Amino acid sequence: MVTVILFFVIAFVAAIIASLTGFGSATILIPFAALVIGLKQAIVLVAFFHFFSNAFKLLRLRRSVDWRLLLLYGTPSILAAYVGAMLFNRLNIDVISITFAVFIIIFAVYSLVNPAWSLPARRSVLVFGGALSGLTAGLIGVGGAIRAMFLISTKIKKEVYIATSAAIAVVVDTTRLSVYLYHGSLEAGYYWYIVPLIAIAFLGTFVGVKLLTRLSGLLVKRLVLVLLLLVGIRILLDQYGFF
């Protein structure tokens, strides 16, 4: 019982962090949830939490959504998330996780060392980023880190970044959750977690968005990059048995 309570506490903290950085709720929560219910069940269960957390963020910041980014980035994300979710039970997740971790570590370190560097907001770049984010979301449940890499590097305002990221996450999560549920990927014994996770997502998001209004755009970007670096290191350590 103590483990379950701690799981919900971590979920609350994760929702706050994700409201400040545009990602992180699933990335923070999945490793711990995996210790409680196993990795694949954790990915599916946390997808529900991730969906509602981003839905609440979108409701609070809906006026800041950049519709051009949403269409260019979100459309390939949806398609790739479907493909990733279909491959969920067929591929070796460990190999994908290691590749993903190395990629975001290199990106985070380079961006922190070169703060003036940014990705060009070209269609091809956004489409590629969306496809990569959707694929990793469907496969390992942490596509938000890739999404953060691409969106935070386009020099958009912090509220626009958070709102647009949330909008993309909602449509991607809708796609992959539909596939997970259709294939019965979440065991019946874990459905009771969903209702308290919805309440926690609402409370955490409410607190996080309040804090967002008090932080500068530069600080938010640095928080995103530091969290990306920590996420990459955490995934590598986990894959090599340090946790």
- pLDDT, position 22: 80
In angstroms, the first-to-last Cα distance of the chain is 21
Segments forming the whole domain that contains residue 100? 2-239
Looking at residue 189, the DSSP 8-state letter turns out to be G
Looking at residue 57, the DSSP 8-state letter turns out to be H
Q: What is the pLDDT of residues 11-30, one digit of tens each?
A: 998 899 888 888 778 777 88
CB 16 within 8 A of CB 162: no
**Count of domains in the chain?**
1
Structure tokens at 174: 């809708």
Which residues 6+ apart lie within 8 Å of 51 measured at CB?
Answer: 169, 170, 173, 174, 177
Query: For 143-159, b where at least 16 C-beta lie within 10 A, e where not — what string?
Result: bbbbbbbbbbbbebebb
Q: What pTM was estimated for this model as a whole?
A: 0.76
The residue among 145, 137, 64 whose CA lies nearest residue 104 is 145
- pLDDT, position 241: 61
pLDDT along the chain (243 residues), means of 10: 78 89 79 79 89 93 88 86 82 76 84 76 82 84 76 80 88 87 87 93 93 83 84 78 58
Structure tokens at 62: 């809906």
- pLDDT, position 243: 53
- pLDDT, position 242: 59
Query: For 5-39, b where at least 16 C-beta lie within 10 A, e where not — what string?
Result: eebeebbbbbbbbbbbbbbbbbbbbbbbbbeebeb
Q: Cα dist. 144→28, 77, 116, 214, 243 in Å? A: 11, 11, 22, 23, 22
- pLDDT, position 57: 92
Which residues 6+ apart lie within 8 Å of 40 measured at CB?
Answer: 88, 89, 93, 185
